Amino acid sequence: MAELIWSFTHRPYVTLFLLAFLALSYFEQGKLRTLIWMVSGYLVAFVAEWMSTQYNGIPFGWYVYHYDELENDLVIAGVPFFDSLSFSFLSYVSFSFAQFFMSSFWFGPRDVQRVTPRRVRNSAFVLLLGTTLMVVIDLIVDPLAHLGRYWFLGEIYHYPSPGTHFSVPLANYAGWFAVGWFVIFLNQRIDGWLAAWEEKRGQKVVLRHLPLKGLFAPCFWAGIVIFQLGVTYWLGWGGVIEPEAKTMGEANLIHTVQLQALAGTFIFVPIALLAIGHLLRPTSRALPEDVAAWLEEYPSVKLKA
């Protein structure tokens, strides 16, 4: 218990993102589906990390945790708890952001709601797009995590055979795609089963109304990326790593981190602009019949067609 408390209090960014996930998921799909997503996301990621670090390097490639750096964290079977848990909120926010791109919107006074039918929510394209958006996060996160010794994450792991993308092996991204795809696919199927069961019993989940809920997923996804990019820019231009890098004969590391920050920015900005453009596009306004059909599937205590 002490290790669990330490992980949540000394890694506040993980705690903040987890709480944001719980709030977003609760308002978008209710308590039961939120619990299922959190548990299934953790378990799938835990098995994948255990296999990668303890067994054969599949699916993330071979990497090694530094347990002396993790002595205060909760570690289960060689895998840090907070690390696997992060896959729950990263997969969900990416899945929710994918729905944003595939949905129309209801606009009210100081309110925006995403109109997403269940057939869109559980579609193959949302599965593919959500998985891809999760890998996009990792394109920025993992190169930064690999530099953990220079910031407050700590040097918690290393790759015995550094890869081609800022020292991160391409197998890592393939693993993220596989894990993200499976978590989203599994929860899409569970949602379909639960919806059929609820329909049969006449007990649909009534979702609580939250003003501007339609904007929460893209803002949450962007917040994760901006946080990581902010740390990368700080390392690249803040004079944080220069003394140690020169001492260790890594003078070129500063330029590499600066390039890493710029590369991440050029990944993030087009996605952000596409999201803004989709929201502002006149054809993205939901028709009254679309809102009525959506509310039939996802009743809200306040929103009306």
pLDDT tens across 14-59, in order?
899 999 999 999 999 999 999 999 999 999 999 999 999 887 788 9
> Residue 251: its pLDDT value, please?
62
For residue 249, pLDDT over 60 is answered with: no
CB-side neighbour CA atoms (13 Å) of 247: 4
CB 35 within 8 A of CB 205: no
pLDDT tens across 162-205, in order?
889 998 999 999 999 999 999 999 999 999 999 999 988 888 88
**Mean pLDDT lowest among 68-72, 83-87, 233-237, 264-268:** 68-72
For residue 305, pLDDT over 70 is answered with: no
For residue 239, pLDDT over 80 is answered with: no
Residue range 90-97: average pLDDT?
A: 98
Residue 222: both structure tokens together: 């962007």
Question: Omega into 59 within 30° of 0, i.e. cis?
Answer: yes
Rounded distance, CA 95 to CA 104, Å?
16
Helix (H/G/I), strand (E/B), else coil: 154:
coil
> Residue 303: its pLDDT value, please?
64
Amino acid at position 128, single letter = L
> Residue 299: its pLDDT value, please?
84
CB 145 within 8 A of CB 153: yes
Give the start-end residues of each E strand in 174-225.
Answer: none
Task: Kindly provide the b/e burial profile for residues 159-168, where b requires at least 16 CB atoms within 10 angstroms of the residue's own CB.
Answer: beeebebbbb
> Residue 113: its pLDDT value, please?
95
Q: Which of 38, 32, 24 is nearest to 194 (CA)?
A: 32
User: What mean pLDDT is reported for the chain?
Assistant: 91
At 157, the pLDDT band (50, 70, 90 cuts) reads confident
Q: Which of 287, 301, 298 is nearest to 104 (CA)?
A: 287
For residue 66, pLDDT over 80 is answered with: yes
Residue range 146-173: average pLDDT?
A: 87
pLDDT tens across 199-231, in order?
888 888 888 889 999 999 999 999 999 999 999
Share of the chain above pLDDT 70, in %: 95
Sign of torsion, CA 209 37 180 262?
positive
Residues paired with 108 in a beta bridge:
111
> Residue 143: its pLDDT value, please?
93
Global pTM value: 0.94
